[in-house]
Chains A and B, each alone.
Chain A
Amino acid sequence: MPEQSYIRGVTRRQFLGRASIGIGSAALATLIQERARGSAGLDGVPHFAPKARRVIWLTQAGAPSQLDLFDHKPGLKEQFDKDLPESVRNGQRLTGMTAGQNRFPIAPSQFKFEQHGQSGIWLSEILPHMARTADRLCVVRSLFTEAINHDPAMTLLQTGHQIAGRPALGAWLSYGLGSENDNLPAFVVLISRPSGPTNAQPLHERMWGAGFLPSRFQGVRFSPGKDPVLFLSNPPGVSTARRRAMLDDVAALNRLKFEDYQDPEIQARIDQYEMAFRMQAAVPELADLSLEPSTVFDRYGPESQKPGSYAANCILARRLAERGVRFIQLYHRGWDQHGDLPKGIRSQCYDVDQPTVALIEELQERGLLDDTLVVWGGEFGRTVYSQGVLTADNYGRDHHPRCFTMWMAGAGVKPGTVYGETDDFSYNIVKDPVHIHDLNATVLHLLGIDHTRLTYRHQGRDYRLTDVHGEVVRALLA
């Protein structure tokens, strides 16, 4: 059906664009026949052979503590409750949450660290499953950002700019690379709810927005429940057969209009109604986890049976990857441990550790890890000094933009690697700093995109995800 309608006379720009007005270039049906499934991206993109065809970004919103999960600092044990040397902080401006503290007492992590796998990557004891997959991880301990609060930091991570209004990474990808699935959006967002009581920072729809790109590139949020996609279900009393008959009538009338007016936008609308109808079948099938065998739920852990949990969303992410969705972004909130960190972070790790690793292992078994890039991390790090009262078994940590840890796995990244180094306090980077722009440039590179050449003209200049910054971190590439 879609092939038919494309070939029937949609112009090439219409086919690529399906959107803007007043278009009317010549029809190039030959090209359409090549790419009848999915929608094409830009000409010449990817710029070179990609390692990754899709990305699953496991966004840990709220900023997980690198000190308690990845960045092992054994020397801190002896520094317990000592003041952080001024030479380390070096006059840095702090957030309003700790700027007023009289002291900045050092809080060593309460958790034990061990080396794992052939690669000997250090991981905290609260990530027992991740330990199993250490040799697949490419850990970057030297990320940094300029933003010190959640919203601008998350906005920078997603859009390359602290101030809202630019396109999210996923929107850039669907703009540049197009979609591989005709029945599903190219950029899907899944938001999970922490199982424990936590301080969950708000998210904004614009974090997966298209900014100044045409809004069809914006991320589509899938929700747990009856309508994974908004307005997906027919109203009560309208069966699939009734809907089909009705859409045929709509299409018949629209075709009359098209014959009369010759506006390619009319043909595009006919196609969109067809895609809507296909989504009504494809999305419930996709989101129906009851089709998964019980062994899958065992792997992803007890939370995976709860719709909207991180674990359930990881299963959904795998199903989306299997269906060729380009950019799958999970958000797991609740990492903002200003106080009671040991308890809070345990609960968060309970939520994410097992399902994250189950996802990687399943991708590997199904041959998808070869061309799927998995990214895990938050928007900044946390301070070595305690926010609030430090006791033998309790502490909190404030926001820390100067260093934090993320990891990648899968397509095109060097497995079993640790990159970058921080000082003895995990406060400043001493080796191989990686800015958010560098990370984004590297992710685009893995997808076959030169980050300096994926641009969009807006308000008189060419914009790109990395603005005027970003270097591909070659050392991370396999």
Chain B
Amino acid sequence: MLRLIVTSSTYRQSSRVTPALRQRDPENRMLARGPRFRLQAEFLRDQALAASGLLVPRLGGPSVRPYHPPGLYEQVVAGSSAATYVTGSGEDLRRRSLYTYWKRSVPNPAMLIFDVPFRETCSVRRSRTNTPLQSLNLLNDPTYVEAARFLAERMLREGGETPATRLAHGFRLLLARTPRTDEIGILTAAYERAAREFREDPTAAAALLAVGTVPADAKLDPGQLAAFTTVASILLNLDETVTKE
């Protein structure tokens, strides 16, 4: 049944809306276009880990504790053993979100921000909100800052020799398509400005590259890597990146 649905031409049609289609089926009740909605919390994080090459694909095992802001448990938990969140290390930080430790009184905050239910009662449908807290999470959570750095390293290592080919490679890794000329233009300008600024401010570059637990590749030029990290962060925050089309 699922196979029938996902291989149908209705499911596979483009989610692009034309004015004519919008007029005839504004809410897509007649399935005039393909579905287009924001990825669920788990998929968002997994996608960033996978595209950057950080993801540990191993199956099974006990729950793990990925990055988590400090102090959240202490405010609400009563006494005793589970009053502090102890962030995991190594591979525990990079497993699929499916394996993230779940505490009912303080569920993983980044996932809550992206509409994960509290799991207190059954939920047949998640809401799909679009909030500034989500923007802040994708911009600033060390999960995504570290993933951006790794995506940048992949661009440098695998993306050929010019900024344009490297940016196109990062774009393809996340969005599975080749950037258009106007898109690569914006990315190139963003890269050049960031590269210039980080060249002038090596301390800032070093600070950005130090986010996370896996050290940056020392063979790469820090200014250049920081600039690509910035562009990778831009890519991770695009609407198209966080949206299933």
The answer to whether B208 and A238 touch across the interface, beta carbons within 8 angstroms, is yes
CA distance A164 to B208 in the complex (A): 41
Q: Which residue of B lies closest to A22 (CB)?
A: B28
The answer to whether A272 and B105 touch across the interface, beta carbons within 8 angstroms, is no
Q: Which residue of B lies closest to A193 (CB)?
A: B75
Q: Which one of A235, A253, A266, A272 contacts B131 once the chains associate, using CB atoms below 8 Å?
A: A272
Which residues from 211 to 227 on chain A have a C-beta closer than 8 Å to any C-beta of chain B? 213-216, 218, 220-221, 223-225, 227
The answer to whether B204 and A237 touch across the interface, beta carbons within 8 angstroms, is yes
B186 cross-chain contacts in A, Cβ below 8 A:
249, 252-253, 256
CA distance A263 to B145 in the complex (A): 28
Which residues from 149 to 185 on chain B have a C-beta closer than 8 Å to any C-beta of chain A? 180, 182-183
Stretch at the interface among A13-21, A50-58, A73-81, A109-117: A13-21
Q: Which residue of A lies closest to B242 (CB)?
A: A269
B133 cross-chain contacts in A, Cβ below 8 A:
220, 229-231, 276
The answer to whether A237 and B208 touch across the interface, beta carbons within 8 angstroms, is yes
CA distance A194 to B210 in the complex (A): 37
B35 cross-chain contacts in A, Cβ below 8 A:
21
A-facing mask of B130-152, CB < 8 A → 1, else 0?
11111111011110010000000
Stretch at the interface among A41-49, A197-205, A409-417, A470-478: A197-205
Known: A24-B17, A201-B78, A202-B77. A235 touches B130 (CB 8 A): no
B-facing mask of A219-261, CB < 8 A → 1, else 0?
0110111010111111111110011011001101110111011
Asked if B234 is an interface residue, CB under 8 A from chain A, the answer is: yes
Q: Which one of B36, B106, B141 contacts A205 once the chains associate, using CB atoms below 8 Å?
A: B106
Which residues from 66 to 111 on chain A have a C-beta closer than 8 Å to any C-beta of chain B? none
In the assembled complex, the CB of B136 is this many whole angstroms from the nearest CB of chain A, namely 4
Q: Which residue of A lies closest to B134 (CB)?
A: A272
Asked if A25 is an interface residue, CB under 8 A from chain B, the answer is: yes
In the assembled complex, the CB of A329 is this many whole angstroms from the nearest CB of chain B, namely 13
A170 cross-chain contacts in B, Cβ below 8 A:
none
CA distance A215 to B129 in the complex (A): 7
Q: Which one of B26, B36, B75 contacts A21 once the chains associate, using CB atoms below 8 Å?
A: B36
Asked if A29 is an interface residue, CB under 8 A from chain B, the answer is: no
Q: Which one of A215, A233, A262 contacts B115 once the chains associate, using CB atoms below 8 Å?
A: A215
B120 cross-chain contacts in A, Cβ below 8 A:
164-165, 206
Q: Which residue of A lies closest to B128 (CB)?
A: A21
Asked if B39 is an interface residue, CB under 8 A from chain A, the answer is: no
CA distance A218 to B133 in the complex (A): 11
Q: Which residue of A lies closest to B126 (CB)?
A: A215
Residue of A224, A229, A235 with highest tally of chain B CB at under 10 A: A235
CA distance A257 to B171 in the complex (A): 14
A243 cross-chain contacts in B, Cβ below 8 A:
139
A164-B120, A235-B211 known; 17 other A-B pairs, CB under 8 Å? A18-B130, A22-B36, A164-B118, A165-B120, A203-B76, A225-B71, A227-B69, A230-B136, A231-B69, A233-B140, A236-B208, A237-B226, A249-B187, A252-B186, A256-B183, A272-B131, A276-B133
Asked if A169 is an interface residue, CB under 8 A from chain B, the answer is: no
A257 cross-chain contacts in B, Cβ below 8 A:
238-240
CA distance A462 to B157 in the complex (A): 56
CA distance A223 to B135 in the complex (A): 19
Stretch at the interface among B45-53, B91-99, B190-198: B190-198
The answer to whether B208 and A24 touch across the interface, beta carbons within 8 angstroms, is no
B187 cross-chain contacts in A, Cβ below 8 A:
249, 253
CA distance A20 to B240 in the complex (A): 17
Can you list 21 A-B pairs with a CB-CB distance of less than 8 A?
A23-B27, A164-B121, A165-B118, A201-B78, A202-B78, A204-B76, A223-B72, A230-B136, A231-B133, A231-B136, A233-B140, A243-B139, A250-B234, A253-B234, A260-B16, A262-B19, A270-B239, A272-B134, A273-B135, A276-B135, A280-B136
The answer to whether A205 and B76 touch across the interface, beta carbons within 8 angstroms, is yes
CA distance A203 to B106 in the complex (A): 9
Known: A204-B104, A242-B197. A250 touches B22 (CB 8 A): no
In the assembled complex, the CB of A183 is this many whole angstroms from the nearest CB of chain B, namely 9
In the assembled complex, the CB of A156 is this many whole angstroms from the nearest CB of chain B, namely 14
The answer to whether A254 and B239 touch across the interface, beta carbons within 8 angstroms, is yes
A-facing mask of B8-48, CB < 8 A → 1, else 0?
00000001111100100011100000011110000000000
Asked if A265 is an interface residue, CB under 8 A from chain B, the answer is: yes
Asked if A349 is an interface residue, CB under 8 A from chain B, the answer is: no
Asked if A418 is an interface residue, CB under 8 A from chain B, the answer is: no
Asked if B207 is an interface residue, CB under 8 A from chain A, the answer is: yes
CA distance A193 to B71 in the complex (A): 12
The answer to whether B190 and A249 touch across the interface, beta carbons within 8 angstroms, is yes
Which residues from 153 to 208 on chain A have a C-beta closer than 8 Å to any C-beta of chain B? 163-165, 191, 193, 199-206
Residue of B19, B26, B79 with highest tally of chain A CB at under 10 A: B26
B234 cross-chain contacts in A, Cβ below 8 A:
246, 249-250, 253
Asked if B64 is an interface residue, CB under 8 A from chain A, the answer is: no
Asked if B224 is an interface residue, CB under 8 A from chain A, the answer is: no
The answer to whether B238 and A230 touch across the interface, beta carbons within 8 angstroms, is no
In the assembled complex, the CB of B132 is this many whole angstroms from the nearest CB of chain A, namely 4
Asked if A396 is an interface residue, CB under 8 A from chain B, the answer is: no
The answer to whether A25 and B26 touch across the interface, beta carbons within 8 angstroms, is yes
Q: Which residue of B lies closest to A234 (CB)?
A: B140
CA distance A246 to B112 in the complex (A): 26
In the assembled complex, the CB of B186 is this many whole angstroms from the nearest CB of chain A, namely 5
Known: A202-B77, A206-B118, A233-B140. A245 touches B129 (CB 8 A): no
* Nearest 4 pairs of A and B residues by beta carbon: A237-B208, A237-B207, A236-B207, A276-B135
Q: Which one of A164, A205, A223, A270 contacts B112 once the chains associate, using CB atoms below 8 Å?
A: A205
The answer to whether B136 and A229 touch across the interface, beta carbons within 8 angstroms, is yes
Asked if A268 is an interface residue, CB under 8 A from chain B, the answer is: yes
Asked if A209 is an interface residue, CB under 8 A from chain B, the answer is: yes
Asked if A275 is an interface residue, CB under 8 A from chain B, the answer is: yes
The answer to whether B36 and A261 touch across the interface, beta carbons within 8 angstroms, is yes
A236 cross-chain contacts in B, Cβ below 8 A:
204, 207-208, 210-211
Q: Which residue of A lies closest to B238 (CB)?
A: A253
B75 cross-chain contacts in A, Cβ below 8 A:
191, 193, 203, 221, 223, 308
CA distance A220 to B104 in the complex (A): 17
CA distance A249 to B129 in the complex (A): 23
